[in-house]
Amino acid sequence: MSDSLVRVSRRAEWGAHRPTPGARRCRGTPRARAAIHNRDDDVSTSISTARAWATIAIRVGQCPESIGGPALTLSVIIHQLSGCARFSLQELNIGGNQINGTLSDLSIFSALKTLDLSENQLNGKIPESTKLPYLLESLSIGSNSLEGGIPKSFGDACALRSLDMSNNSLSEEFSMIIHHLSGCARYSLEQLSLSMNQINGTLPDLSIFSSLKKLYLYGNKLNGEIPKDIKFPPQLEQLDLQSNSLKGVLTDYHFANMSKLYFLELSDNSLLALAFSQNWVPPFQLRSIGLRSCKLGPVFPKWLETQNQFQVETLYELDLSNNHFSGKIPDCWSHFKSLTYLDLSHNNFSGRIPTSMGSLLHLQALLLRNNNLTDEIPFSLRSSEQMFKNNVLLLLKSIDLSSNHFSGEIPLEIEDLFGLVLLNLSRNHLTGKIPSNIGKLTSLEYLDLSRNQFVGSIPPSLTQIYWLSVLDLSHNHLTGKIPTSTQLQSFNASSYEDNLDLCGPPLEKFCIDERPTQKPNVEVQEDEYSLLSREFYMSMTFGFVISFWVVFGSILFKRSWRHAYF
């Protein structure tokens, strides 16, 4: 292992800090610098006798074996650092290694402010006897295998500003975790990251955390009903409760006095409803809103139309997919001019795409799949400007309008969206030809035009899209030979199936003069049946006429026959 991979340094800005009384007893200067070398005979000694270190950073994928020995446990590493360094060490970063064991008592490091133990192999429950350094401001032990809960002693870390224990196996009830953190840490804590654990229970009152700005709880097992009388911290800026099983109703009462909130993610809580007063105006302006798979419908939330009304902040992402919205999409998008991501998929919206969506000049993703939208795909969303012209919506990367009831042709202006990566117009009623210059979309990776009524040939320009990894043109009325290129022939035949007059590889149907070698069987059978029908009914008609006059003529002219039959 080279010397450049393992380093110990002292930050210049800490050089003027006075050492603690314990550090004064250690000989050496507080400005001392040192480096850990990969030598078995001096590494552990240099760590334990280092004088007045302020920062130790070891992020190499594997700590030197001589620090912790073959076992490489955290307790051994802490022991090696328990010499004079424990009085002056302010930052310890040994994340991203293969350290195992559990979290040991760290209170001996009287000056430690930042500790990063993330992305290691720490496991088991954190002992109740574990104490944090009194001056610790940031503790990151995410991406380990820790179990159980958070010791009550963590709540006594009065300087703690950031606690990251995400991506572990914590299984304690959330209300108990909050109780353990409700010591003096409730006044200092600004960020609490507990995502991707197995924490259960419901939300307790969080307003006691007067400084909390960021709360991340996504990907847990929160499943209780949210009490009606709890409140979130007044200083909260980011709230992420995505992918839980929370129940109950969130009202405007819960969000009172939250004027600084700009990130709200509640998606994938299918039993959670939002019921705000009809004329409620939120005290916040959101930049990102995630409400996928919540109980919001059927009426589009009026309070959303107030966001960015005064352009105090800018909304960048809005996800309202998989709710039960119905009726027309509101024509209110001129308020969201900074919107980059809009997802209204999997609802019951009907009618046309509103005109004001043409004002979303920074939009990069427009996702409206699986609704009941009708009419033509609008390329004239603004009164005098086309949607895909004059630099309008030229930043679009993804368009998904699939599984609707759009009709008409694909707007030719779509060829000018040079940055487009995904285009999905499948399962509609689109007609006409595929735009001939669609090959200008050289950034395209995903193209699905299946299950429409497109006619004509596949544009040869499609061979110019070298990054195309997904292509589906099946179930249309396309004709002629599939253009020859390494790219188009690499797709499975299913990408072109059910286009009866399409031929050439990868289809098994060969072409002669750019046409299929024979008419489809269905058409041949229809011609045969129609020919038989004409011959049959013509012969039957002639036979009837001749027979009628032979019999009726004989009766008419022979008196004896007339008396016999009449």
Residue whose structure tokens are 């979309």: 441
**Res. 205: pLDDT tops 70:** yes
Q: Which of 118, 111, 44 is nearest to 81 (CA)?
A: 44
Report pLDDT for 9: 30
Q: How sure is the predictor about 13, in pLDDT bands with cuts at 50, 70 and 90?
A: very low
CA nearest to 224, candidates 202, 208, 204, 198: 202
* pLDDT tens for each residue of 271-280: 888 888 878 8
Please state, in angstroms and rounded to a whole number, the distance separating the CA atoms of residues 108 and 87: 8
State mean pLDDT over 127-131: 92
- Kindly report, residue by residue over 67-118, the tens digit of the pLDDT: 444 557 898 888 888 888 888 899 999 999 899 999 989 999 999 999 999 9
Residue 214, helix vs strand vs coil = strand
**pLDDT for 506:** 92
Read out DSSP for 426-477? -SSEE-SBPPTTGGG-TT--EEE--SS--EEPPPGGGGG-TT--EEE--SSE
- Spell out the residues 6+ positions from residue 313 whose beta carbon is closer than 8 angstroms to its own: 262, 285, 286, 287
Average pLDDT score over the chain:
78
Model confidence at 317: pLDDT above 70:
yes
| pLDDT score recorded for residue 281 | 86
Q: Which amino acid is at 486?
A: T
With the C-alpha atoms ordered 258, 259, 260, 265, is the resulting torsion angle positive or negative?
positive
At residue 543, the pLDDT reads: 46
Mean local confidence (pLDDT), 214-226: 94
What is the rounded (10 degree) CA torsion for 394, 423, 319, 313? Answer: -10
Are 233 and 255 in contact by the 8 Å Cβ rule? The answer is no
DSSP class per residue in 93-144:
E--SS--EE-PPP-TT-TT--EEE--SSEEEEEPPTT----TT--EEE--SS
Report the SS3 class of residue 479: strand
Omega of the bond leading into 298 within 30 degrees of 0 (cis): yes
* 394 pLDDT tier (thresholds 50, 70, 90): low
pLDDT at 53: 54
Give pTM, 2 decimals. Answer: 0.68
pLDDT tens profile 136-182: 999 999 999 999 999 999 999 999 999 999 999 999 999 999 999 99
Number of other residues whose CB lies within 10 A of the CB of residue 557: 9
Is pLDDT at 134 greater than 70 in this prediction?
yes
pLDDT value, residue 393: 54
**Lowest-pLDDT range, 20-29, 349-358, 407-416?**
20-29
Of 358, 314, 312, 315, the closest CA to residue 334 belongs to: 358
At residue 421, does pLDDT exceed 80?
yes
Q: Write down the pLDDT at residue 57.
A: 62
In this predicted model, what pLDDT tens digit does every residue of 471-522 receive, in sequence order? 999 999 999 999 998 789 999 999 999 998 899 999 988 887 666 655 444 3
Condensed to tens digits (0 to 9), the pLDDT of residues 328-345 reads: 998 888 777 788 899 999
Pairing of strands 317-319, 272-274: unpaired
